[in-house]
C-alpha cells in the first residue's frame, strides 16, 4: 500500500504573522526584510498583495522592490514570534501523527498513512488541518497530498494560498511533469542552467531523460533528481522528536560589509570560530577537521578544509586553522560577501586524548578552562560581555552569529 504524505507550507508566513499582529497594514503591500544596514536588505517574504499586484519576489533587494511598489511597508523580522507560531502549528500536526518532519520554520512533512483509520483520507485530513490553522492561529497553509515527500512538496506549491492539492500515481504526469524543472527540490540556479542548456526545461523532460546522461551531466545529483522526477523517492518522514547524528557544527554569515583584506577576513573567522567553539562545548564535542566557505560579491564560492594536529573545542585554535586555510586558498580577486567556518570529524569531549611530545598540553588545557569560564560569563551577562581585542577595531564586523543568524531550511538528506 502506498504511503500518504502531506506537505504543509504556511502561506507568506512571516508577512502573515506581521499582518495578524498589526491590523493597520493588513490591506497594504507588506514585506518582511532584513536590515539594510547589516546587508540583509532583501525580501524574506511578502504578503499576497505585494506578490500578486506588484510582482515582488523572495530574495529581491528591498530597493528594487520599492521601485515596483513605492508604498511598500517593510517590517523587520521577529524570529521569536515566528518560532512561537511554528511550534503552535506543530501542536496541530501532532494531533494527526507523530511522524512530523520540519523543513524550515514554515514547512513540514507529515506521514499520515496509519492515521487514515481514524481521520479518513489524506485530503480530508489536509482540509481539516488547513481549517484548524486558519481558525486557531489566524494564518493559512497550502498542503500537498501524495505518496512521497517530493510530490507532496510540489503539491503544496501548486495552488496558493489556502489550498489542498492531491498528486497520485494516476495524475502525477499531468500535474508534475508539466511544471518547470526549477520547481523541483534541489534544482538551483547552477543546476537549472546546466539542464536548460541541454533542453531539459520541465520535470517531465528530466524524468524521461536517460539516467546515464544525467549522471554524466550532474554526477550523483543527476540520479537523485531523476528519482525525484519519476516519483521513486522513498525517503521516510522522521519522528517529531528525532535528532540525527551530529556530524559537524558550523556557522556562516553574510558580512555586514564587503571584506577587502586579510585583516577583515581574520576578524570574521574569529567571530565564526567563537560561535562554532561555543556550540561544540555545548554538545560536548571536540573537532579534528576545520572547513571554511568563502563567497565573493559576484556569488562565486569555494570550500576548503584541513586537519588539525589534535582534537579541540577552543575558538582560538579553530580560528587560527581557519585563517591558515584561508590564506592558502584565497587570492583576493574580488571582495568577499559571505564566509563560514565548520568543525567536523567530531569526537566526544570527555574521551581520551593523545598527548603530544611537541605541543604544550598544559597551555591547551588552560585555554580550555578559560573558554569554559567565558561561557559562564556570557550565559549570565550576554555575548558581548567578553570580547576579543581584535574585534573591537571594527564594530560592524563584531557580530554574534549564534543569535543573529537568519533561519534557513534544514537539509532534505539526513
Report the DSSP beta bridge partners of residue 341.
251, 292
Q: Given pLDDT bands bounded at 50, 70 and 90, which one contains residue 397?
A: confident
The DSSP code for 389 is G
d(CA 311, CA 309): 7
The DSSP code for 409 is P
Is-catalytic flag, 107? yes
143: which residues sit within 8 A by CB, 6+ positions away? 6, 7, 8, 9, 126, 129, 130, 155, 156, 163, 164, 165
Contact 10, 139 (CB under 8 A): yes
Q: Given pLDDT bands bounded at 50, 70 and 90, which one contains residue 35?
A: low
Q: Comparing 295 with 230, which gets the higher pLDDT? A: 230
Residue with cell 506537505: 7
The fold of 177-229 is DNA polymerase; domain 1 (1.10.150)
Task: Find the range with the poorest average confidence among 112-121, 289-298, 387-396.
Answer: 387-396
Segment 257-264 shows an average pLDDT of 92
At 294, give phi and psi (nearest 5°).
-135, 135
Q: What is the pLDDT of residues 275-285, one digit of tens each?
A: 899 888 888 89
Q: What is the pLDDT of residues 141-169, one digit of tens each?
A: 999 999 999 999 999 999 999 999 999 99
Task: Find the range with the poorest average confidence among 32-46, 162-176, 178-192, 311-325.
Answer: 32-46
Give the orientation angle of helix 262-282 with respect to helix 315-329, to 10 degrees: 140
Q: Domain ranges in the chain?
A: 13-79, 177-229, 248-404
Task: Supply the pLDDT for residue 33.
Answer: 83
Residue 217 has pLDDT above 90, yes or no: yes
Please identify which of the residues 18, 60, 91, 107 carries the catalytic annotation. Answer: 107
Mean pLDDT estimate for the chain: 87
The fold of 248-404 is Dna Ligase; domain 1 (3.30.1490)
At 146, give phi and psi (nearest 5°).
-160, -175
Report the DSSP beta bridge partners of residue 303.
293
> Which secondary structure element, helix H or strand E, spans residue 255, and what is its range?
strand 248-259
Share of the chain above pLDDT 70, in %: 88
Rounded to 5 degrees, what angle do the CA atoms 212, 196, 301 make? 90
Residue with cell 511597508: 73
Q: What is the pLDDT of residues 68-97, one digit of tens each?
A: 999 999 998 888 899 899 999 999 999 999
CA distance readout (Å), 34 to 73, 125, 167, 254, 319:
13, 35, 35, 11, 27
Domain made up of 13-79: CATH architecture:
3-Layer(aba) Sandwich (3.40)
Q: Is this model's pTM higher than 0.75 or not?
A: no
Residue 108 has pLDDT above 50, yes or no: yes
Task: Supply the pLDDT for residue 319.
Answer: 93
Contact 6, 123 (CB under 8 A): no
Task: Supply the pLDDT for residue 408.
Answer: 39
Query: How, if at all, do strands 164-166 and 301-312 pair?
Result: unpaired
Give the orientation angle of helix 79-93 with respect to helix 122-137, to 10 degrees: 140
User: What string of DSSP letters covers 296-328?
Assistant: ETTS-EEEEEEEEEEEE--HHHHHHHHHHHHHH
d(CA 228, CA 184): 8
d(CA 332, CA 329): 10
Report the length, in residues, of the chain: 414
SS3 string, 137-201, reads HCCCEEEEEECCHHHHHHHHHHCCCCCEEECCCCCHHHHCCCCEHHHCCCCCHHHHHHHHHCCCC
Q: Given pLDDT bands bounded at 50, 70 and 90, which one contains residue 36?
A: low
Residue 248 has pLDDT above 80, yes or no: yes
Amino acid at each position: 500500500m502506498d504511503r500518504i504524505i502531506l506537505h504543509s507550507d504556511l502561506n507568506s508566513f512571516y508577512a502573515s504573522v506581521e499582518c495578524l499582529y498589526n491590523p493597520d497594514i493588513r490591506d497594504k503591500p507588506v514585506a518582511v526584510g532584513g536590515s539594510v544596514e547589516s546587508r540583509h536588505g532583501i525580501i524574506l517574504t511578502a504578503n499576497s498583495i505585494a506578490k500578486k499586484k506588484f510582482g515582488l519576489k523572495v530574495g529581491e533587494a528591498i530597493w528594487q522592490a520599492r521601485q515596483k511598489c513605492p508604498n511598500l511597508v517593510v517590517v523587520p523580522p521577529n524570529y521569536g514570534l515566528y518560532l512561537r507560531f511554528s511550534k503552535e502549528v506543530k501542536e496541530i500536526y501532532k494531533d494527526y501523527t507523530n511522524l512530523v518532519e520540519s523543513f524550515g520554520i514554515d514547512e513540514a512533512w507529515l506521514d499520515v498513512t496509519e492515521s487514515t483509520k481514524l481521520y479518513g483520507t489524506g485530503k480530508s485530513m489536509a482540509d481539516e488541518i488547513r481549517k484548524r490553522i486558519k481558525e486557531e492561529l489566524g494564518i493559512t497553509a497550502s498542503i500537498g497530498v501524495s505518496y512521497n515527500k517530493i510530490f507532496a512538496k510540489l503539491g503544496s506549491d501548486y495552488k496558493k494560498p489556502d489550498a489542498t492539492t492531491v498528486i497520485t500515481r494516476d495524475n502525477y504526469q499531468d500535474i508534475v511533469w508539466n511544471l518547470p524543472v526549477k520547481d523541483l527540490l534541489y534544482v538551483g540556479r547552477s543546476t537549472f542552467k546546466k539542464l536548460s542548456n541541454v533542453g531539459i526545461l520541465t520535470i517531465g523532460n528530466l524524468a524521461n531523460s536517460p539516467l546515464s546522461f544525467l549522471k554524466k551531466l550532474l554526477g550523483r545529483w543527476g540520479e537523485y533528481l531523476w528519482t525525484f522526477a519519476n516519483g521513486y523517492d522513498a525517503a521516510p518522514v522522521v519522528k517529531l522528536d528525532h535528532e540525527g547524528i551530529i556530524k559537524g557544527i558550523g556557522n556562516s554569515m553574510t558580512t555586514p560589509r564587503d571584506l577587502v583584506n586579510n585583516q577583515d577576513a581574520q576578524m570574521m573567522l574569529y567571530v565564526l570560530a567563537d560561535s562554532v567553539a561555543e556550540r561544540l562545548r555545548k554538545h560536548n564535542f571536540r573537532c579534528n577537521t576545520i572547513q571554511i566557505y568563502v563567497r565573493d560579491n559576484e556569488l562565486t564560492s569555494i570550500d576548503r578544509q584541513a586537519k588539525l594536529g589534535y582534537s579541540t573545542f577552543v575558538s582560538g585554535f579553530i580560528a587560527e586553522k581557519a585563517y591558515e586555510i584561508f590564506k592558502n586558498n584565497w587570492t583576493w580577486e574580488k571582495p568577499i560577501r559571505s564566509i563560514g567556518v565548520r568543525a567536523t570529524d567530531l569526537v566526544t569531549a570527555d574521551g581520551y586524548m593523545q598527548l603530544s611530545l611537541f605541543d604544550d598540553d598544559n597551555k591547551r588545557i588552560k585555554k580550555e578552562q578559560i573558554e569554559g569560564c567565558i561561557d559562564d560569563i556570557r550565559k549570565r551577562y550576554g555575548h558581548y560581555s567578553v570580547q576579543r581585542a581584535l574585534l573591537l577595531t571594527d564594530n560592524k564586523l563584531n557580530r554574534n552569529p549564534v543569535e543573529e543568524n537568519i533561519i534557513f531550511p534544514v537539509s532534505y538528506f539526513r
